[in-house]
Amino acid sequence: MDTSDELLQQASPGFARGSGQTRQKAARLSPSFISWLQAGPMMLVFLAFFLIPLVFVVIVSFWDYNEYQLLPAFSGRGYTDTFEGCIAQLPQLCTIGKTYLKTLKLCFMVWAITLFIGFWVAYFLAFHIKSKTWQMGLSLLCTIPFWTSNVIRMIAWIPLLGRNGLVNSGLLKVGVIDQPVEWLLYSEFSVVLALVHLFTFFMVVPIFNSMVRIDKSLIEAAYDAGATGFQTLVNVIIPLAKPGIVIGSIFVITIVMGDFITIGVMGGQQIAAAGKIIETRLNALQFPAAAANAVILLAITFLIITMMSRIVDIRKEL
């Protein structure tokens, strides 16, 4: 039917209709037009609700503001307010510096823990579960919580970690402690715990994806060549699973960097973090300052992703 020549001719705009070709009954649309029709709507959504809003964030971050309104005039106030005292307080860190340090610390802890759990869960599913049905079933088991409410999964920890929660009463009964432990809830510990609980899923899926693609004969070959299990892991499996590890890491790190809900709810609204600053500024209706903080967060997130994507080509992996 369609030879490539014919397609080319249809696609090329210089080719006028009825030029001696036997034309079909229905007027054929050119392939590139069909592509636009198919991909256009999604592109428009991203343009209207993602790309243009981002541009506005950058623009508004340079606007002026006072107690009760936005002033569309160029000003660096959003940024100067944010970095207030950063020079004067040297060598001590100013508020924004401290906050970002804390956020990065949380980020690193959550990343390390989710990577460890995610890697071994994915490893188990990919290499130890032989039947496809079981693999599907167990993957679903890990996925279902992802489809349920995050807030509920956070408050679910309250009956366990609270002053009179299960953990404390259990420890008291056994006699490990003689006073309820206070730092289990509304602390950094509970924030990290909740973040791990919520987002390990984002590590499991890409790593599992990479591992499933590993040719089993490579592992056979390593075994035949006398590699121990550990050597196979370090020299064969981890290098081949690296793309999944990087993609999962990008997910977890960007989520934690921008998180304000989990840190708010599980930190008892007491812990400052990069996302929380934006929220606080918004609640005070200081849009330019919020936007300036958003730009800073975006820049730092982008920097981290760029460094990580040096390691793999995301496009090839999908």
Of residues 277-296, those binding other proteins (CB under 8 A):
278-279, 282, 287, 290-291, 294
How far is the C-alpha of 209 from the C-alpha of 16, rounded, in Å?
48
**Backbone φ and ψ of 11, nearest 5°:** -75, -25
Helices (H), 145-237: 150-155, 158-161, 166-174, 188-212, 216-224, 229-232
Q: How far is residue 145's CA from residue 199's CA, in Å, rounded to a whole number?
A: 10
Interaction between residue 257 and other proteins (CB under 8 A): yes
Residue 31 Cβ vs other proteins, minimum distance, rounded to whole Å: 6
Give, rounded to a whole angstrom, the gap between the first and last alpha carbons of the chain: 32
- Alpha carbons within 13 angstroms on the beta-carbon side of residue 124 total 10
In the complex with other proteins, which residue's Cβ is closer, 37 or 112? 37
Query: Which contacts qualify for 92-96: CB closer than 8 Å, 24 or more apart?
Result: 95/272, 96/277, 96/296
Find how far residue 285's CA is from the centre of its chain.
27
Phi-psi region of 269 (alpha: psi -120 to 50; beta: other; left: phi over 0): left
Contact string 64-103 vs other proteins (x = CB under 8 A): ------x---------------------------------
Of 214 and 261, CB closest to other proteins: 261
Using the rule CB under 8 A, which residue among 38, 66, 131, 306 binds other proteins? 38
Give strand ranges (E) for the chain.
63-65, 70-74
Containing 26, the helix (H) or strand (E) segment is: none
The reply on whether position 265 binds other proteins by CB under 8 A is yes
Least separation in angstroms between CB 83 and other proteins: 19
Among 79-87, 93-101, 107-115, 255-263, the segment contacting other proteins (CB under 8 A): 255-263
According to CB under 8 A, which one of 260, 272, 280, 312 is a site residue for other proteins?
Answer: 260
189 to 218, contacts with other proteins by CB under 8 A? 197, 200
49 binds other proteins (CB under 8 A): yes
Show the site string, 125-164: x = touches other proteins by CB under 8 A, - = not. x--x---------x-xxx-xx-xxxxxxxxxxxxxx-x-x
Q: Which of 229, 231, 238, 313 binds other proteins (CB under 8 A)?
A: 229
Question: Which of the 8 DSSP states describes residue 51?
Answer: I
Q: Is 308 a binder of other proteins (CB under 8 A)?
A: no
* Residue 120 in the binding site for other proteins (CB under 8 A): yes
Tell me: does residue 223 bind other proteins (CB under 8 A): yes
271 binds other proteins (CB under 8 A): no
| 36 binds other proteins, rule: CB under 8 A | yes
